[in-house]
Amino acid sequence: MKNTTLKLLFLFVATQLSAQKFNKEEARLIQSGDANSMMKVIQITDPNELKILKSVSTDIDLKDKLLPVLAQRMFLSMRDPANPGIGIAAPQIGINKNIFWVQRFDKKDEPFELYLNPKIIWRSQLLRKGMEGCLSIPDFSSEVLRNYTIKISYYDKEAQFHEEMIEGFTAVVFQHEYDHLKGILFTDRLKEQENLEVSKVQVDGNLFIAEKLRRQ
């Protein structure tokens, strides 16, 4: 119990030391509308917006007073009736901070949950292939390989620290949004996986094991 407490304290201190408040431009963007208004979801078709999408995000100061406003506006943007999604990351609305929403298909009533300063700390060798799209990439979808099971750490909206294992489609959504924080789009994963050899573990299923990279 003592070791667990010390670990949690260390992680909290380390996160807070590296965390940053929203800068002036980010604060201006967050305050450009009230908490009940959507924000623009930026697109890869705009060179300036693509630069934001390809940038690596930083941890957010959990005490930043603008965080609840951003979280609410992000949620509304994700659930836009004209183009609803099941996840959204802060870079997609122009803010390079480690924040995203994900729908938890593995929980009762499939709730949407907010993740602050999330990390993937373990990935399974077992892979899952499934169709993906993106709110920032219009009119395109394709099958992507993702780790079937991952172990994650994160802070919730109450600034409480968590570690847990997730798998299946929820893990896919989490990895997709986590990639956004690293400046990686699912189309980048497609290109990367062109040189990956995999073996099926189910004859008629979508589960695979990575073998090796093909020679160029």
3-state secondary structure the chain: CHHHHHHHHHHHHHHHHHCECCCHHHHHHHCCCCCCCCCCCCCCCCHHHHHHHCCCCECECCCCCCHHHHHHHHHHHHCCCCCCCCEEEHHHHCCCECEEEEECCCCCCCCEEEEEEEEEEEECCEEEEEEEEECCEEEEEEEEEEECEEEEEEECCCCCEEEEEEEHHHHHHHHHHHHHHCCCCHHHHHHHHCCEEEEECCCCCCEEEEEEECCC
Indicate which residue of 110, 163, 177, 211 is catalytic: 177
197 is catalytic: no
Could you give the residue numbers annotated as active site?
Answer: 177
